[in-house]
Structures are given as C-alpha cells and as structure tokens.
Amino acid sequence: MKKPSIESMYRLYLHKVGLKESEMHPAQKVETKRAFYAGCGQTLIAARDEIGAMEDEREAIRAFESMTEEVMEFWNNEN
C-alpha cells in the first residue's frame, strides 16, 4: 500500500473539485494549496492534541466522527 501524503490528498482534492493547477491563476494556485495544507495541518494537530488526549476511546471516536460529519455537511451545503 502506498504511504499516504498530504500532497497526494491535495491532488485528489483538486480532482474531486474539478481544478487543474495548469489552468489556475498563479495566486489561486498558491492560496488553494496553502489553504489545503493549513486545513490538513490543523486537523492533524487536533487529532494529536485534542482527540488523542481523550481518555475514553469511544468519546474520541465520536469526536472524530462528529468532525467528519461537519465536513460532509459543509460540502453538502456548498453543492
């Protein structure tokens, strides 16, 4: 199995939303990638520091699922 990376997730995101870096304005390309990496970074920090610090495993799973549902709801409202 291929090791997951933020870059591969970024490429998948661009595909899912129908963007091609080759067709983006240079500023859009830079800001889109910065925003994606920032969002991933904050999510990883939350998983490590907040969810990871929860003593109750079930509570941690619920927190993770809640965040996942929040993202899904955001995208459903965007479309």
Q: Give the pLDDT confidence score for residue 3 in this predicted structure.
A: 87
Is pLDDT at 1 greater than 90 in this prediction?
A: no
Model confidence pLDDT, tens digit, residues 5-57: 999 999 999 999 999 999 999 999 999 999 999 999 999 999 999 999 999 99
Q: Give the pLDDT confidence score for residue 25 in this predicted structure.
A: 97
The DSSP-derived string for the chain is -PPP-HHHHHHHHHHHHT--GGGS-HHHHHHHHHHHHHHHHHHHHIIIIIITT-S-HHHHHHHHHHHHHHHHHHHHHH-
Q: Give the pLDDT confidence score for residue 79 in this predicted structure.
A: 77
Domain boundaries, the chain: 43-79
Q: Specify the pTM.
A: 0.81
